[in-house]
């Protein structure tokens, strides 16, 4: 990753213009690359760049060129810190807030979403992901659907952590790590008071290489429910996952191809779940059983 270079970003020719925001008096900037998308951040308060690192997406790399695809801008009132700061994505103001931590949270979220939409050689699916036995367990779902809770329980049970936000698929359908800290909410489900926890703090570890998908779990949390899932066909699975795929409209052909390859050798289960801890054990056993069946089916490691 390295350190962030100090350079004022400029949009590549053909990128969406930022208009009059360019005239706000930017004094410092930096550029980085994440999953092939070149991103610039500029500010009127150079000291803010020192705080930027922890808010960048996993896997970012410093850029040598100031030409970028997308510019984010952070403006603060240097004379009166109580006055609101502003965050812009391109020419669009995303937040106006006197809480600088909130401004950085908005910036972080907007950069991640921009990368998820703009990464040309990866397909980002909104999902939690862990690894077990050399295969990925992918848990697509909307926000507050319990993905992070289930991912955390799987990590506590020994699974490798890949992400609690995005399954990053390559053209072969493998999932790459996007290991930002887990965002764990309290019992109220409150986001503002969510805690960022690293996998290691849960007793787990992060995956360091891409994994083929072994299991896709479409689970809706219903208190007290017993996990009796239905098994989906490959086509049904692709449709279900497409509903959580960030570039679905922007690059439907590539999205469908990645999803199809991802589910080609995966078991896809859909159903209502009860408590995450209980389901985590069931899912890990399920992957192991499928792996055993697969090994015997191919003769690999069999006793014939």
Partner 1 sequence: MKPVARRDGLLTRDLKDELLVYARDEHRAHCLNHTAATVFKNADGTRTVADLARLVAPEADRTASEAVVGETLARLAEAGLLEGDPAATGWSRRDVVRRVGIGAAILLPAVASIVAPTPAEAAATCATSCASKADGTPCTCFGANPCTATCVSGTCSDGGSC
The answer to the question of residue 60 lying near partner 1 (CB under 8 A) is no
Q: Are β-strands 213-221 and 135-140 bridged in parallel, bridged antiparallel, or unpaired?
A: parallel
Sorted by sequence, the CB contacts under 8 Å of residue 155 that are 6+ apart come out as 130, 161, 182, 199, 202, 203, 204
CA 85 from chain center: how many Å?
26
Number of residues that bind partner 1 (CB under 8 A): 54
Q: Are β-strands 267-273 and 213-221 bridged in parallel, bridged antiparallel, or unpaired?
A: parallel
The SS3 assignment for 238 reads: helix
- Cβ proximity to partner 1: between 113 and 294 the closer is 113
Q: Which of residues 79-98 bind partner 1 (CB under 8 A)?
A: 87, 92-98
- Cβ proximity to partner 1: between 3 and 80 the closer is 80
List 126, 135, 176, 273, residue binding partner 1 (CB under 8 A):
126
Q: What does R_g of the chain's alpha carbons equal in angstroms?
A: 21
The answer to the question of residue 236 lying near partner 1 (CB under 8 A) is yes
- Cβ proximity to partner 1: between 106 and 276 the closer is 106
Question: Whose structure tokens read 């050399």?
Answer: 134
The answer to the question of residue 250 lying near partner 1 (CB under 8 A) is yes
List 3, 50, 79, 188, residue binding partner 1 (CB under 8 A):
188
Distance, CA of 135 to CA of 137 (rounded, Å): 7
Contact criterion met (CB below 8 Å) for 164 and 127? no
Distance, CA of 189 to CA of 211 (rounded, Å): 30
The answer to the question of residue 112 lying near partner 1 (CB under 8 A) is yes
Contact criterion met (CB below 8 Å) for 151 and 182? yes
Contact criterion met (CB below 8 Å) for 128 and 120? no
The answer to the question of residue 109 lying near partner 1 (CB under 8 A) is yes
Binding mask 128-157 for partner 1 (x = CB under 8 A): --------------xxx-------------
- Within a 13 Å sphere around the CA of 219, how many CA atoms are in the beta-carbon half? 30
- Cβ proximity to partner 1: between 153 and 164 the closer is 164
- Cβ proximity to partner 1: between 68 and 115 the closer is 115
The answer to the question of residue 110 lying near partner 1 (CB under 8 A) is yes
Question: Whose structure tokens read 């289930």?
Answer: 150
The answer to the question of residue 256 lying near partner 1 (CB under 8 A) is yes
The answer to the question of residue 191 lying near partner 1 (CB under 8 A) is yes
Q: Which of residues 164-183 bind partner 1 (CB under 8 A)?
A: 165-166
Q: What is the largest CA-CA distance in the chain?
A: 78
Beta-carbon neighbour count of residue 258 at 10 Å? 28
Binding mask 192-211 for partner 1 (x = CB under 8 A): xxx-----------------
List 32, 60, 72, 124, residue binding partner 1 (CB under 8 A):
124
- Cβ proximity to partner 1: between 85 and 284 the closer is 85
Contact criterion met (CB below 8 Å) for 197 and 151? no
The answer to the question of residue 42 lying near partner 1 (CB under 8 A) is no
Which stretches of the chain bind partner 1, using CB under 8 A? 87, 92-99, 102, 105-106, 108-110, 112-113, 116-117, 124-126, 142-144, 165-166, 188-194, 233-236, 238-239, 242-250, 252-253, 256-257, 260
């Amino acid at each position: 990753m390295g350190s962030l270079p100090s350079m004022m970003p400029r949009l590549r020719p053909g990128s969406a213009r930022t208009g009059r925001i360019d005239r706000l008096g930017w004094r410092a900037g930096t550029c980085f690359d994440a999953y092939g998308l070149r991103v610039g951040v500029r500010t009127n308060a150079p000291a803010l760049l020192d705080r930027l690192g922890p808010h960048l997406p996993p896997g970012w790399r410093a850029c040598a060129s100031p030409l970028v695809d997308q510019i984010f801008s952070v403006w603060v009132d240097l004379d009166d810190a109580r006055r609101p700061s502003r965050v812009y994505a391109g020419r669009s103001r995303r937040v106006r807030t006197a809480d600088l931590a909130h401004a950085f949270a908005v910036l972080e979220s907007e950069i991640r979403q921009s990368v998820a939409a703009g990464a040309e050689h990866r397909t980002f699916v909104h999902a939690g992901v862990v690894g077990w036995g050399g295969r990925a367990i992918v848990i697509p779902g909307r926000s507050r659907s319990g993905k992070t809770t289930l991912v955390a329980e799987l990590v506590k049970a020994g699974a490798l952590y890949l992400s609690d936000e995005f399954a990053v698929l390559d053209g072969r359908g493998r999932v790459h790590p996007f290991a930002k800290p887990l965002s764990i909410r309290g019992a109220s489900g409150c986001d503002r008071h969510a805690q960022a926890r690293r996998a290691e703090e849960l007793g787990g570890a992060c995956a360091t290489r891409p994994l083929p998908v072994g299991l896709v779990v479409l689970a809706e949390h219903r208190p007290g429910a017993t996990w009796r899932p239905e098994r989906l066909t490959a086509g049904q699975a692709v449709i279900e996952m497409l509903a959580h795929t960030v570039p679905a409209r922007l690059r439907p052909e590539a999205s469908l191809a990645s999803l199809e390859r991802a589910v080609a050798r995966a078991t896809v289960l859909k159903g209502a779940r009860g408590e995450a801890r209980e389901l985590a054990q069931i899912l890990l056993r399920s992957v192991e059983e499928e792996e055993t069946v697969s090994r015997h089916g191919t003769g690999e490691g069999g006793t014939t």
